[in-house]
Structure 1
Amino acid sequence: MSMLSVSEFDVIESPLSGTNLIEASAGTGKTYAISIIFLRLIVENNFRIEDILVVTFTIPATMELRLRIRDRLRDAVSVIEDQPIKDKTVTLLMEKYKGDSVVKQRILTSLKSFDQASVYTIHSFCQQMLVDNAFESGSLFSSEIVNDNAFIERGVTDLCRLTLYNTSPALVSYFMENCSVKELIELYKKRPLSPDLRIEPEDSDADIESLERCRTLIVELYAELSDLWKLESGRVADIFCNSKVLKGNIYREDSMDALIEEMNDYISGEIPFAFFDRFYNYTSGKIKDSLKKGCDYPESQVFEICQKIYDANEKYNNAGALMLISIKKRLFDVIDDLVLSSKSQNSKRSFDDLIKDAQRGLNGKSGKLLEEKVRARYKAALIDEFQDTDNLQFDIFSRLFNNEKTILFLIGDPKQAIYRFRGADIFSYMKASQLMKNRYTLAQNWRSRPELIESVNAVFSRCTDPFIFDKIQFYPVRPGEENQGDHFMKRGIPVPPFDIWLSADGAESAGDMLIEKLSSEISLLINRGDDNPYTLGERAITPGDIAVLVRTRKQGIEVRNAFAAYSIPSVSRGMDNVFKSGEAKDLYFIVSAIADPANYNLVKAALSTVAMGGSADLLYGYHRNSSDGKDGFDSVTTRFYNYREQWISGGFLNMITGFLERESVASRLFALNGGERMVTNINHVAEILHDAEHEMDFTPRELVIWFGNTLSNPPDDDGYSMRLERDDDAVNIVTMHACKGLEFPIVYCPFLAHSNDGKGEYVIYHDPSDHDRPVLYLDKNVPDEVKAIKASEDLAENVRLLYVALTRAKSACRVMFAPNKNFGKSAAFHIFVKSAGYDVSGYNRSILAAALRDLHDNSGGRISFSDGTVSEGAAYIAEKHSAEQIAVREFTGEVRSCWKTHSYSAIAHSFAAQVDAEGKDFQSEFHARKGRSEGIFGFASGTRAGLCIHEIFEKTDFTTSDRISVTDRCSEILEKYRFDISSKVHLADMFFNVVNSVLDDSTGLKLSYIDDCSRLTELEFSFPVDLFDSIKFRDIFKGGDLICNKIYNRLAGDHSEPGGMMKGFIDLVFEHNGKFYIADWKSNHLGNSYNDYTRERLTDEMEKHNYFLQYPEMEFSPGIFFDRPDISVLEKLDKYFAGVK
C-alpha cells in the first residue's frame, strides 16, 4: 500500500474533522496538543465536555491529561477576560474570542461539569461501555476487576491434570522431561490478544502409539547395552584410547578417559533417558564418519546398540514434540473457557477481559445497537499512545469511531512502540495509519537543547531505512523555542551535546572498560568543589540530573555496584521484579511460619531471615533453653500464634502491619546497608499479598501456596516492578523500557552495542503473506523463512528502543560503545553503520570507528567522538549541608480525626490502664509452669493457654455428658496448640465443673442447660457512637454500686475522642427461658489452689486489667459475677451511646 502524504499539524489552524492520525515524535508535546484539540472542540465545534472521549493507556496519564485539559480551559477563560497568561498558543487561539460571553459561558459550563469529562484508560473505557450498555453487550452489571494470574495458573493446572491423568505413561514421562505447567502458563500469558491469531504448525500428526513404541524400545535397548557394556567396555576403551583410527580433533586423546567414564555413569545410573552430551560419539554412524583416511571401522556391538538407541530417541523426541504441540494447541482451545468460567462464577474480570468483552459485544448479535449507543454519546474521540495498541483495541476503536459522524484523532509515535512484550502490536498501528484520511506530524521539540535536537536528526536522517518498516518513517523535528534548555558546559563553554565513546581496540575486557569509563566520568561531573569544571547552564550538576539507561537487570546491577565503589548515590527504576528479591523470600518464610506456627522448621526458617535478625547463635540459644529444643521456641511461636489469630480475624494486611511494627523489622533493616530498599520491598510484597487475598478470597494457607508459586514464577507485571526506595538526589539507573515518557538533563547510554535476539521457547511473528496476521509457532524446529521474519521484527523493536533512549536527554546525551562479537546484530549497528551506507555484514571495529568519525565530521560540531580514552575519576563527595539547612521544623498545629473505631482495648489504654492481660500476647508468657499443684492449676498460662481453653468451650457441646468425647476433643485442641496431651483429663474436668456450676441461685441456671441452637460464640458487634466525652461518660457511673464506683474511679482525666463506631467481640451469647445472657471467658492464673480465686482476688485482677471497662461496653450484659447493673445506669448508657443529649 502506498504511503499517505504527511503534513505538519497546526494545533490552532488544522481542521478538526474526519479521521486523523498524528505522529508525535519524542518531546513534541503530544499531551499538550491533545489538550488544545479538546479546547478547540468546545470553543469551535460547540461540543459539551461529555461529548468528547479521551483514551490513554495508564492511570497516571489520565490524571495528567485531566490536569492539562482543565488548565487549558482556565487559560482560555482568562484570555477572554483579557487577563494575561503565559501560554502563547492559547493566547493566540483565543484572541478572537475576547469579550465573547457565549464562548466564555460554554467554557465555564465545561469547567463546572468537568467531573463528567470522559478521560479514561482503555480498560476503564471498555468497562464503562459494558456497564452502561449491559444488555447490548451481554455483560454483567457489576464485576470485580482482578489480576487473573491465579485464575490462569489454576486453569492450566486443571487442564494438565485432565489431559495427563488417564493418558499414556509415555506421554506423562515425556511431558515431565520436556515441559512443565510453568512453561504452559507463560506460553498462555504471552500469546497475542488477537482474534486473528494463527497457531502453527497447523497439523501436528501426533501419534501416541509411536511415542509408546519408541519409549519401550529405548528401555529394551538400554537393558541390552547395560549387559553388553560389562563385556565390551574394555575393548571400547582400547578403540578410543589406543587404536589411533579416529580423528583426533573429534576424539581427542586427552578427553577419552572422560568419555568412557560418562558411559560408566550412564549405565550405573539405570535411567535410560538420562543421556549425556557426548552419547552420539558412541554411535556407529559417528564412528564411521570420524575414521582417519584408510582406516577400517572398529567393530563393536556397543556402537551398533548406541546407534539404535540414538535413532529410537530421535523418533521418540519427534513423536513427543508433536504430542506436546497437540497439548499446547488444546490449551488455547480450552483454557479461555476454563478461566472465563472460573472468573464468571466469582463475578470477577481481568483487565484483558474488559477489552475482549467489549470487542465480543461489538461483534455480537446486538453489536450494531451497541455501536449506535456509544456513537450517540461521543461526537469526538481522542486516542492517546495509539502506537501501543493491539488488534482487539484497534477493532474496538475502528468499529465505534471510524465513520463520517465522529471526529477521530489517533495520537502516538510508532518510533516509540516498545511494549511488544506486553501485547502491543505495531502492525495494528501500521494498519490503522493507512485507514486514516488525514495524517499529521508534530514537528516542534520542546524538550531538548536545539543542538541536541539537530544531533539526533543527524543520526537518523542519514539512514535509508532506520525503522525497518517503510510505514514508519523518521521526520526531522525543530526546536520549539530558539534557546530552550540549559547548555551542558565545561568551564563556561558549551560542549557538544551528543558524545560517542568507543572502547579501545584489543581491550581484554571492553565491558569492564565501559563500566569504568561510565563511573569515572559521572563522578567527575557531580563531584563538589571549586575545581569541578562541569555545569548545566550556570548551576552545578547534581546526581539527580543524570540517568543511565540499561537494557537488562544484570546491566543495571553492574552499574549500581560500580557506582557504589565510587560512592555515587544511585536509584533503580523498572529493573527488578520484587518477587525476585531476597526480602520476598524472607517474607515467604515468615508468613509460612505464621500460617503454621506448630511447625518448628518453619519457625526456625522465619527466625533465620534478615528481616527477623536471625542468626545461628540465636537459634542455638533457643535450643539450649530446653532438653528437646522446642520449649525454647515458645516465646516466638506464641507471638506467631497471635499473628495467625489476627490474620484469621482481621485479614493479612492487619496482621502484617502489626508484625512489622512489633518485631521492629523496619528499624532492624534500616541499620543495614541497603536497608531502604529492603523495607520498600517488604512493604510492596505485603501490599500485593493483601490484594491477592482480597481478590481471590484466599485462606491463610491458600495465600501461602499462592505466594510460593508466585516466587517460583514471578509474573511479568508492572505492579510487581520494584518501587523507588529513595527520592533524594541520586543518579537514576533506568531500563530503556521504563524510561519512555521520562526526561533527564544528562543521559548515558552505555549498552547500545549489545544485541538482543529476542530468543525464547516460542516464536511470535507476523506473516507478510497473510496481511501481517499474528502467528504463534509452537514447534522448536523453526523454518528459516520464519526465523528471518522474526529477526527482522526483533531488530525493528530494538531500533525503536534505541530511538527512545537517544531522545530522553534535555541537555546532553552520552553514548558508549563496547562492541562484542554480536554487535553486527544490534540496533546500534543498523543505525550507525549499515543503514548509514556502510556495506558490511558483521562487526568490524575499523569500519565502526570510520562511521562514527564521519558522523562527527558532518555534524557541525554538535557530535563529538572519542576513541578508547578513559578519564580517571574520583570517589563522589556529596555537598555538605549545615545543621541549620537540615533542621526539622517543629509542628505546632493540631490534627484531629473526625471519626474512628473504638474498642474496649483502646478505651482501656486511653485511660492510663496498666498492662492489659490481652496485651501480653506479644510478651512471651507461654511456658509451662513448673512446681505447680496437680490438676488444672498445673496447666500452662498465657495467651496460648487462654486460646486453647477458649476453643475447648467454643467447640464443645455444653449439654453433653460423654466424658470420653470431651476428653478426646481436649486432646485434639491441646495438640493443635502444642501442649502435652496429658493435660486432657484436667481440662475435661474443668469443662464439666464450669458447665455444671449454678450461675443463678434463683433459677438454677447452668451452662449445661444451653444447647448449640441457643448459643452464639465470638459474636462480633458494632454500633455508632457520638463524640466520645470521657467526663460525661464517667459521670454515668457516679453513685452506683461497687462495680460502677470502680469504673468511675478508673475513668480519670480529659480524654475526649472523636465519634465513630464501637466495635468488639462477645465470647458467648446464650438464651435461656426467654432471656439473653453474655459470658466472657477469663483464664488468668492467680495461684495454685482454689483459695487464690476468692471474690476479692478476682476483683483486684479485674481492676488491674481494666476488665470493668467491658461492663459499659456491653450495656445489655447481665454483668460480671452474675450481677446486673442498676436500671438507671443502663438507661444512661443507652442514651449516651445513642447520642441523646
Structure 2
Amino acid sequence: MPVIEPKQSQALDTLTLPFGGSRLIEASAGTGKTYTIAGLYVRLLLGHGIDKPLTCQQILVVTFTNAATGELRDRIRNKIQLAYRHFIGIDTGDELLASLHSATPESARPLALKRLDLALKSLDEASIFTIHGFCQRILADMAFESSLLFESEFTLDDSEYLHHAVRDFWREHCYPLPGFLGEIIQKKFADPDALSKQLRPLLGASQANAQPQPEDFTKLQGTLSQSMSRLKLIWPREREAIETLLHSLPLNGVRFGKKPDAYPKLAIMLDAMDNWCKCSMSLPPMKVMESLSLSGLKLNKGGEVPTPDQAPVLDHIERLCLLIKDFIPSFLYCARDGISKRFAQQKSERNLMTPDDLLLTLEQALRPDTGDINEHSNNLANLIAKRFPVALIDEFQDTDPLQFAIFNRIYQQESTSSTGHNADISAEDDSDNSGENNQSKPASKEVSLLMIGDPKQAIYAFRGADIHTYIQAREQTEQHYSLGTNYRSSRNMVLSVNALFENRDDPFINQAIVFESVQPSPFAHKKIFVEQNNDTSALKIKLLSEDPDKGLNKASARKRLAEDAAAEITRLLTESQQGQCTISGKALKAQDIAVLVRDRNEAGVIRESLSQRQIGSVFLSRDSVFKTLEARELALVLHALATPKDERALRSALATSLLGYNALAIHGFNQDEMIRQDLLEQFDRLHQNWLRRGIMPALLSLANETQLIERLLQGEDGERRLTDFRHLAELLQQKATELDGISALVNWYEQALIVNNANEEAQLRLASEQNLVKIVTIHKSKGLEYPVCFIPFVSLARDNRRKPAPMLYHDNNRLIWDIEQTDEGWERHKRENLAEDLRLLYVAMTRPVYQCYLYIANHSRFTKKAGITSQLHETGIGYLLGIEDKACDFARIQTQAQGLICDAISVSEVQADVSTQALVSVTDKRRTLAPRKLKRKLYTPWRVGSYSGLVKDLPHERVAPGADDESFPELEIIQDVVDPSPCRFTFERGANAGSFMHLVLELIDFTLAEAQLPEQLPVAMEKYGIDESWFSILNTWYLDILNAPLTQDGSLTLSQLTPSQKLVEMEFYLPIDQLKANELNELLEAFGYSAGLNFESLKGMLKGFIDLTFEHKGQFYIADYKSNHLGDDFSHYGLDAMAGAIRSHRYDLQYIIYTLALHRYLNLRMPNYDYDLHLGGCYYLFLRGMSVDSPMSGIFYDKPPKALIQALDALFDSEQTQAVINNDHMESTL
C-alpha cells in the first residue's frame, strides 16, 4: 500500500469555524465532540457565520444508533436552553454562548431570542436521525423523486427472506449436480445454513472484489465432469505404465513406503484408484490424487520429478486436483451473486425494505448516470441539499462506502468530488455533468457537510463500518480541524495515554491515522484519585510472566488475570469503606468501577472471580439476547404453548430451567393422571390466553403460575436471566403484530435463534441498576466513561491458526475478497485485525476518568518442535511495546514496559499468591428495613365475579375457569382398551376438544349444516389440531346432534333454529349489592338444589356467557354444550348419569344464574312479560350422547321454579332488578 501523508489539521474554534463546503473535524476521545456539535447547532439557529438563520428542520444531524440520536437531541436541547437563558440576561458561564451573545447586534437580540424559543418548542421535529432514519424519511417524503413505490413496508429483520433465498439457491444449484460435485460442496458446507453463515458478511459488502476472479460455475462443472470421466477412461489403460514409472523414481519412504518392500503405501494408493475407476460414482480419493500429482510427488534428495510429457496421466491428475480446488471458490462467487439477487427479489416482490435496503435505494436514486436519469438524480440531490443546507455527520469513522456516497453526492463540491482512490464512493464524472444540471446545484457556500469523527475509534468493522472509507473522505476533504483538549480524564490519565501511544511512530499501523497528543483540560487537576498507598500514577501496568517450561495458554492467563483484577477491586472497595480510597473527595463505590472485556467468555471469568469475593457485578455487551440460554429454552416453552396437546413438547418444556420442574415432577406427569391433566389444562389455558391477548400476557401468566421470577432471582445470574426472559417476551409481542398467527411467530423465533439476530433491539439490556461493578465489552463502552477501569485481557491474542472465511482485506482502499484464501491475503487480513485491536485498545484506554489498570501477560504456546512461542506480537498492546515477533520472553516485556514509567505510569508484576479475601460489606441499617408481609386474604370491595369463582373453593370439585365442562372424570376402574375404533366416544377429551366443538356450533347456520359443515369443519380442525382423518366421523356426528329431538314429542331440534331465532355466546353482567355464600346456600337448599358453596363475599358484577339462547314458539330457552365423556355408548348418557355430572360440576348453579340473567333481560324488554309463559327453561346438551337413533339421550332439561328466580333476584340486588346485558342483537329475537 502506498504511504499517504495525511493533511495537516488546524485546531477547531467552534465560534469561528467557517460553514460552506465539506469539512472534517477529528475529535479524539473525551475532547467534547457532542459539546461542539451542540455549539455549532446553536450558531446555525442564530445565523452566525451563514447568510440566514436555519430552523431545526433545516439542520441535518446524523449519527449511527437510536441511543446516540436521543443523547444528541438532549444535549442540543440543553445547549439551546442555556443560550436562551444567556440571551435573557442570565450568566451561564459558557464562553461560546457569551461570544455569540456579544457577536449579535443588540437590535437583533430580540429576534434571536424568538428563534431560540421557537427551536426549543420545535426540537421534537428536529432533523436528528440515524443514517437509516434519514434515508427512510427522504424516501418517504420524496418517493416520486427517488422512484420508490409509495407503500413500501419497513422491517428490521430480513433473516426469514435470506433463509429462503439461500435454500432456493441451494435447491437450484446443488440438487442437479452430479454426486461427486455435490460431495465437494457438502464437505465444505454441510447444509444451507453453513453456506449462509459464511456468505452473510459478503452480502452487505457488495463492493468486495473477488481476487482472483473465479471461473464461471456452470462452465467449471462441465470441465470437471469431462476431466473426471477422462481420468476414469485412461487410468485402467495406463495403470501398469504409471506403476512402472513410479517404481523407477526415488520415492520418499515416509509417504510411499520402503523400496525393498516394493513401496507398500504406493500399492495401497494404486489399488484405491483402481477401485474408484471400477465402481465409484463419488469423488476420487483426494489424498491419493494429491500424492500422485506431479507437484505432490515426494522424492528423495536428488530425484527429479517427471515432466508432463513423461507422465501425462499424473499431469492430468494434477490439473484435476486444481479444478477441484477451484470448484469451491467458483461456487462461492456464484452463490454470493445468486443469493444476493434472490434475496433482493424476494423483498422486492413483497415491497419490503430493511435498513440496508434504505441506504441502497437512496444511493441508487442519487447515482449519476446518463441522460434523463442523470438529471433526475441531480434534481433529487438538489432537493435534499435545499431542504437540509447543513449536515453534521456524527461518528463519521463508523461510516461505510454506501453511506458516504449518499452524502458525498448531495453535498460535495466539484473541486473535491473526483479525488480519492475509489471512484465507487465519489461523485462520478462530474466533469460530464456540465451546463444546466450543474447550474441548478446549490452553490458550495450555501451548503455545508461537516463530518465529525475519530478514526482511532473505528471499531465496528463487524457491523459494516469501513475505516478506509473515512480515510478516502479525509483525502477528498481539503479543510481538516481537530479538537485537542480532553475534558473527560484527570491530568495523569491523559498524559499516560499520550505516552503509551506515542511509544510508536505509527501507533495505528496506518500513516493516514495520526495520533496527536491531547492536552488535559484546565480543570483536570481537580479530578483526584486517592488510595492508601498514595500512588499518584493513573495508568497501572501489571505484568504476568509465562511458565518458563510450559508457556502461558489463554485459559490459564485469563484465570490468573481475572483473579488479580478481582483482588485489586476488593482492596480498593475495602479501603473505600475505611475512608482511605476516594475520587474527588467521595468514597469509591462498586458502580464506579468497570472491567472492560472483549466478549462474554472473558466476562464470565472475571464475574466468577468477583463473585468468589462477594462482589456483585453486571455484564453489559452488544451481544444478542438470542444467544442466551433463556432464548434456547424459551423456544421449547413456545412450542409447548403453541401445541398444548403435544405431550412430548410439554415434557421438553418442563425440563427447562425456566419452568423449574425436576425429574421427579416430570415422572409424576408421566405416571399420575391428575398431575398430567392439570398440566395439560394449564397449558391449554395459556394457549387460549395467547390467542386472545397475545404472547407476552401468556408468558407473564406462565411466569406467575410457575413462580419463574422468584426462582430465577434465587440464582447467581438471576437478574440477568430475568431481564433476558422479559426482553425476549417483548420482542415476541412486537413481532406478533407483524406476523399472522402462532405458527408464523414460532417459525420466526426459531429462525432468529439460528442466525443470532443482533440488531439494536435484540442487544442485551442492563440487568440491574444496583451498586455493582460493571463488566462491559469494549464495543459497548465506546462513548461512555467510568471513574476506574480494569483492562485485564487485551494481551491475549486471537486464535490465528485457522484462515477465516471469508477472508477480507484492503488494497489501496479497495475491499478485497481473497476467495482462494492465499497466504499473502491471510497476512494482510491479520495485519488489519491487529490495526483494529489497536483501535479497540485506544477506545478502552480512553474510558477511565481517574485510573486504569492495564494487564499484560506473555500469552504463549508450547510445542515440542518450536518450544515456547509468544503470541503477544499479535496484539495491540504488544505492538505498542515494540514486540513484533514470536521470540519474546518475560524479560523483554519488562524492559519495554519499564521504558514507559513516569509520574503518570507505574509498572508492577502479578504475584503468584493472589489474595482471595472476600469483601466484607459495612452494614447499612437503612437497608435492613423491609415491609411486613400481608398474610391475610386481600379483600377487594368491588370486583367482577363469575360462576367459576363461586364454585372454585368447593372441597369435592376443582373447576378450571373457562374449562369447567371439559375436565377429565375420575374413573374408579381403569379399563384397558386395545385400538378402539374411531367414533364420538373415542374422540379426544379435554379443553381442546371442548373448545373445538363449541367453535363449530358457533360457526354454522343450523338450518344449512349439511352444506356448511364441509367448509367450516376443516377450519376448526386445523385451528385446534384435530387430525383430518376425523372429518367424516365429525361431519356425521354434528348432523346427528343437530337433528336429535330435544323434546319427547320430537317437535324441537337444533336444526330448526334459524339465525334470527338464536343468539350465540350472549354476554351478561348482573349487578350485585352484596352476595354471601351462606345466604345463597340457604336459598338453594330451600328449593332442593345442592349447596355447600364457600366463596368470598361478592360486591360488584357477576359475569357470564351463555352458549346458546334461542326462541321457539314464543318461549325463550337457554342451551349449554357439554363435551364431557360419560361412557362409551348411549346408555351412559341417560337422565341419571347426566344428573350426576350436573351435581358434580355444579352446573345447576350455572343454569340458575343464566336463567336469572335471561329473566331480568326479558322483564326489561318485553311488555307483559310472564316467567311461566315466556321463559321456556334450560337445556344442557351432552354432545357425545345426542343422536336421532337414541331420543332424549344426552339431553338434560330443567326449568328453575319462578319463586327461586325471584328470590335470587332479590338476594343479588334488592333495588336493582335490571340486568345489564352487552348484546344489542337480542332485540331481533323479540
Aligned-partner SS, 1:992: helix
Whether the 8 Å contact between 1:193 and 1:391 is mirrored in structure 2 is no
Aligned to 1:592: 639
Q: Which has the larger radius of gyration?
A: 2
Change (3 A) 1:105 1:954: closer
Whether the 8 Å contact between 1:497 and 1:812 is mirrored in structure 2 is yes
Whether the 8 Å contact between 1:549 and 1:733 is mirrored in structure 2 is yes
Deviation of residue 718 (structure 1)?
4.0
Match of 1:73 among 69, 80, 88: 80
1:128 and 2:137 are equivalent in the alignment:
yes
Change (3 A) 1:60 1:1090: same
Aligned to 1:902: none
Aligned to 1:897: none
Aligned to 2:806: 762
Aligned to 1:668: 711
1:653 and 2:696 are equivalent in the alignment:
yes
The one-letter amino acid of 2:170's match is C
Change (3 A) 1:1016 1:27: farther
Deviation of residue 108 (structure 1)?
1.1
Change (3 A) 1:678 1:1109: farther
Whether the 8 Å contact between 2:546 and 2:857 is mirrored in structure 1 is no
Aligned to 1:437: 478
Whether the 8 Å contact between 1:490 and 1:535 is mirrored in structure 2 is yes
Change (3 A) 1:810 1:914: farther
Whether the 8 Å contact between 1:197 and 1:775 is mirrored in structure 2 is yes
Whether the 8 Å contact between 2:965 and 2:1124 is mirrored in structure 1 is no
CA distance, structure 1, for counterparts of residue 988 and residue 161 of structure 2: 45
Change (3 A) 1:1108 1:605: farther
Deviation of residue 978 (structure 1)?
8.5
1:503 and 2:548 are equivalent in the alignment:
no
CA distance, structure 1, for counterparts of residue 854 and residue 1176 of structure 2: 79
Q: Deviations over 1:531-584 (max 9, x none)?
A: 685433433332222212222332222222222333332211116443332222
Match of 1:579 among 601, 623, 626: 626
Whether the 8 Å contact between 2:27 and 2:482 is mirrored in structure 1 is yes
Aligned to 2:70: 63
Change (3 A) 1:380 1:726: same
CA distance, structure 2, for counterparts of residue 162 and residue 1120 of structure 1: 68
The one-letter amino acid of 2:363's match is Q
Total equivalences in the alignment? 1051
Q: Deviations over 1:800-836 (max 9, x none)?
A: 11111111110011111112222112221222215xx
Match of 1:817 among 856, 866, 875: 856
1:1101 and 2:1149 are equivalent in the alignment:
yes
Aligned to 2:433: none
Whether the 8 Å contact between 2:293 and 2:314 is mirrored in structure 1 is no
Change (3 A) 1:105 1:971: closer
Deviation of residue 489 (structure 1)?
2.2
Change (3 A) 1:351 1:477: same
Deviation of residue 51 (structure 1)?
1.8
Change (3 A) 1:881 1:959: same
Whether the 8 Å contact between 1:669 and 1:678 is mirrored in structure 2 is yes
Match of 1:873 among 909, 915, 936: 915
The one-letter amino acid of 2:826's match is K
1:22-41 to 2 correspondence within 5 Å?
Answer: 22-41=25-44
Change (3 A) 1:925 1:371: same
Larger deviation, residues 390-399 vs 535-544: 535-544
CA distance, structure 2, for counterparts of residue 933 and residue 753 of structure 1: 69
The one-letter amino acid of 2:1054's match is L
Whether the 8 Å contact between 1:54 and 1:119 is mirrored in structure 2 is yes
Change (3 A) 1:594 1:1120: farther
Deviation of residue 980 (structure 1)?
15
1:389-408 to 2 correspondence within 5 Å?
Answer: 389-403=399-413, 404=444, 405-408=446-449
The one-letter amino acid of 1:474's match is F
CA distance, structure 2, for counterparts of residue 518 and residue 243 of structure 1: 55
Deviation of residue 153 (structure 1)?
1.2
The one-letter amino acid of 1:358's match is L
1:89-104 to 2 correspondence within 5 Å?
Answer: 89-95=96-102, 97=104, 100-104=109-113
1:388 and 2:398 are equivalent in the alignment:
yes
1:208 and 2:221 are equivalent in the alignment:
yes
Deviation of residue 114 (structure 1)?
2.0
Whether the 8 Å contact between 1:194 and 1:392 is mirrored in structure 2 is no
Larger deviation, residues 16-25 vs 179-188: 179-188
Whether the 8 Å contact between 1:246 and 1:290 is mirrored in structure 2 is no
Aligned to 1:703: 745
Q: Deviations over 1:877-899 (max 9, x none)?
A: 253443434546899xxxxxxxx
1:806-845 to 2 correspondence within 5 Å?
Answer: 806-819=845-858, 820=860, 821-833=870-882, 843-845=888-890
Deviation of residue 871 (structure 1)?
6.3
Aligned to 1:908: 945
Match of 1:681 among 709, 714, 724: 724
Whether the 8 Å contact between 2:292 and 2:317 is mirrored in structure 1 is no
CA distance, structure 2, for counterparts of residue 842 and residue 314 of structure 1: 38
Aligned to 2:10: 7
Aligned-partner SS, 1:734: strand
Q: Quick one: percent identity of the two aligned structures?
A: 26
CA distance, structure 2, for counterparts of residue 75 and residue 882 of structure 1: 40
Aligned to 1:450: 491
CA distance, structure 2, for counterparts of residue 120 and residue 242 of structure 1: 65
TM-score, normalised via structure 1 length: 0.79
The one-letter amino acid of 2:221's match is I
1:847 and 2:892 are equivalent in the alignment:
yes
Aligned-partner SS, 1:441: strand
Aligned to 2:564: 517
CA distance, structure 2, for counterparts of residue 490 and residue 124 of structure 1: 47
Aligned-partner SS, 1:855: coil
Change (3 A) 1:910 1:348: farther
CA distance, structure 2, for counterparts of residue 139 and residue 95 of structure 1: 48
Whether the 8 Å contact between 1:170 and 1:215 is mirrored in structure 2 is no
1:603-614 to 2 correspondence within 5 Å?
Answer: 603-614=650-661
CA distance, structure 1, for counterparts of residue 328 and residue 1061 of structure 2: 58
Aligned to 1:896: none
1:827-976 to 2 correspondence within 5 Å?
Answer: 827-833=876-882, 843-856=888-901, 859=902, 861-869=903-911, 872-885=914-927, 887=929, 907-908=944-945, 915=952, 919-920=960-961, 926-930=967-971, 943-951=991-999, 953=1001, 958=1006
Aligned-partner SS, 1:434: helix
Aligned to 2:197: 186
Aligned to 1:733: 775
Whether the 8 Å contact between 2:659 and 2:706 is mirrored in structure 1 is yes
Larger deviation, residues 456-465 vs 704-713: 704-713
Deviation of residue 721 (structure 1)?
3.4
Aligned to 1:141: 150
1:113 and 2:122 are equivalent in the alignment:
yes
CA distance, structure 1, for counterparts of residue 503 and residue 33 of structure 2: 25
Aligned-partner SS, 1:558: helix
Aligned-partner SS, 1:828: helix
CA distance, structure 2, for counterparts of residue 1112 and residue 426 of structure 1: 77
CA distance, structure 2, for counterparts of residue 289 and residue 220 of structure 1: 26
CA distance, structure 1, for counterparts of residue 318 and residue 758 of structure 2: 35
CA distance, structure 2, for counterparts of residue 1110 and residue 816 of structure 1: 80
Larger deviation, residues 210-219 vs 612-621: 210-219
Aligned-partner SS, 2:86: helix
CA distance, structure 2, for counterparts of residue 790 and residue 930 of structure 1: 72
CA distance, structure 2, for counterparts of residue 1136 and residue 1083 of structure 1: 27
Deviation of residue 1075 (structure 1)?
15
CA distance, structure 1, for counterparts of residue 478 and residue 1175 of structure 2: 82
1:527 and 2:574 are equivalent in the alignment:
yes
1:333 and 2:337 are equivalent in the alignment:
yes
Q: Deviations over 1:479-510 (max 9, x none)?
A: 22333564232227342101111113535564
Aligned to 2:866: none
CA distance, structure 2, for counterparts of residue 808 and residue 195 of structure 1: 34
Deviation of residue 21 (structure 1)?
0.9
Change (3 A) 1:649 1:289: same
Whether the 8 Å contact between 1:198 and 1:775 is mirrored in structure 2 is yes
The one-letter amino acid of 1:711's match is L
CA distance, structure 1, for counterparts of residue 480 and residue 929 of structure 2: 56
CA distance, structure 2, for counterparts of residue 81 and residue 242 of structure 1: 91
Name structure 1 gaps, 5 residues minimum.
225-238, 298-306, 892-904, 1033-1041
